[in-house]
Amino acid sequence: MKTPKARTIRPRGTPWILGLIGVLVLVPLALILPLAAVAAVSGLAIVGGALLWRRLSAFAVAQEVVSKEIGVLSQRLVKLEAVTAALIQSRMQDSAMADGSARPPDEAVKALDARFDAGIEEVTAEIGILSGIVRELAAVVASQDGDIARLRVQAQAPQPKPVPQAAPEPIRPRPAPAAPPPPETEPVAPPMRLVPRTTLPAARPSDHFATDADAAMLIEAFDGEGLEVFLQPVVTLPQRKVVAYEALARLKVGDAVYAPETFLPVLERHGRTTALDRRMLQRVATIARHLQGRGSPASVSYSLTPHSLFEPGFLRSLGRLVSEGPELAGRVVIALPQSSWRSLDAEQAALLAGLRGRIGFVMDRPIDLRFDPTALAERGITQVKVAAALLLRPLDREARPDIALEDLVTSLARAGIRLVATGVEAETEVPDLIDLDVPLAQGGVFAAPRAVRSEVLSASPEAAPPPPPSPDPPPSPPPQRRPFRDFLRRAG
């Protein structure tokens, strides 16, 4: 059977001849009869369109024939490939049977087994890795469960009872004017109190009020009239001019007066640290009004306990405290430890930012000297309190600043922050601090902390009552103090 051949597509002579005749006839006709020339051109266009349509039809028929031939040819090629593959396979089988050897099938099976083994090894390796990860997670979870169980046991364990003869020793009389170490020199304890506790921690062996009876005595003194306020001045160097005061909490239990490092652990166990801060801030505001009435530009600072930052509504109450007395703007200063400034969350940072301009900010109780003056200035911090021992003694590599101490003081000053050396107890330390260009200092060598007179604290105008009962009203003042008290009432 012969395949029909397609017609060869080649140039035709007829259209060219007709076109030449049309040009020779239409040109003279257009000069003589234009309308007839237009009619003739239209007729030629119709004839040309008819010829073009016929030509396109011929193209379509030829394309269809060619596609059919290509399809037949592809089918024949597929059949030929199949036949060729069958012949090759049959010949290979015949040759294998003739030789009596089964090597090719064995090699194929071996290759398949090798690929199968490789896949199994890969899956086995992945399972081993996953099992190792699961074992590590199980070990971590087990250790955490063990820590939680130990903490629960420690929290539920009864407190040890001391020997009877050792009971009277926790309360030891101290001379009232003796100046205990300032609270700024507590380098380790405050950072450990950042996270609020839901259970009461166990009493530490070094606590003076480790027993329940002694702790109850201290709490009773705190709720009563045992809380006292001591002031220690901050002076300039080298002039030693008083520019500010720091309010220090003291608790009088019986005839003894205790510093915060002694009674704060007991207040923490009973959840009274925030009450301490509220009462102290009320008295700091009273002292600031008193200093303003005397015409003193000195401010009064107080070191907050880190727990108060997590007390709901405490930071907002600071704003209300200052709003009640606009004249106290900038005169009441709160100090927070370095660890608290570094661990502020978004809400705490926003509340403190809202207090800028009304309450001053100080960073104290540092654990290292790696300060970022720009970041501190953005927080609104105007002073940084550092113990003199950290400035004058050799420091560990982790606590050293990245620059020299002289340059550190200068960089803080450029950011509007003044460095305060605290705990200066020896006169020999003062020249060294002056050589470091330290602008402010505080310590027993300049002035020991002194108790604030009760009439100054009782002269406060109407203020928000603290949670514990307010102290008894003071006796009537002498006549020479009456004008000043009247002035304080008008300022409130």
What SS3 state is found at 210? coil
Residues 207, 208, 214, 217, Cα dihedral to 10° = -110
Residue 100 to residues 96, 105, 109, Cα–Cα distance (Å): 6, 12, 18
Where do the DSSP E strands lie in 171-284? 227-236, 242-253, 256-258
pTM above 0.85, yes or no: no
Q: What is residue 207's predicted lDDT score, i.e. its pLDDT?
A: 52
Helices (H), 302-441: 314-323, 338-342, 346-354, 373-379, 388-392, 405-414, 429-435
Phi first, then psi: what are they for 152, rounded to 5°? -65, -40
Q: Hey, is 381 helix, strand or coil?
A: strand
State residue 100's pLDDT score. 54
Per-residue pLDDT tens digits of the chain, which is 492 residues long = 455 554 544 555 666 777 777 777 777 877 788 888 788 888 878 887 888 888 788 778 877 877 787 877 777 777 777 777 777 877 777 666 665 544 555 676 677 777 777 777 766 666 766 766 776 677 777 777 777 777 766 666 655 544 444 444 444 444 444 444 444 434 433 333 333 333 334 444 445 666 778 888 888 888 888 899 999 999 999 999 999 999 999 999 888 888 988 888 888 888 889 999 999 999 999 999 899 888 888 999 999 998 888 888 888 888 887 777 777 788 899 999 999 999 888 888 998 998 888 899 999 999 888 899 999 999 999 999 999 988 888 677 777 787 887 888 999 999 999 999 999 999 999 999 999 999 999 999 999 999 998 888 876 454 433 433 433 434 443 444 444 444 444 444
What pLDDT sits at residue 183?
Answer: 41
Asked if 237 and 436 touch (Cβ cutoff 8 Å), the reply is no
pLDDT at 141: 74
Give Cα separations from 384 to 246, 408, 410, 417, 429 (angstroms). 13, 11, 13, 7, 19
The type of residue at 73 is L
Q: Determine how many CB atoms are found less than 10 A away from the CB of residue 388.
A: 25
- Kindly report whether the peptide bond that precedes residue 190 is cis, defined as omega within 30 degrees of 0: no
E strand or H helix that includes residue 303: strand 299-303
Q: Give the distance, in angstroms, between the CA of residue 201 and the centroid of all CA atoms in the same chain.
A: 27
Contact 189, 261 (CB under 8 A): yes
- Phi-psi sector, 374: left (phi>0), alpha (psi -120 to 50), beta: alpha
Backbone angles phi, psi at 313, to 5 degrees: 85, -5
Q: Where are the alpha helices (DSSP H) in 33-102?
A: 34-99
For residue 428, the model assigns a pLDDT of 92
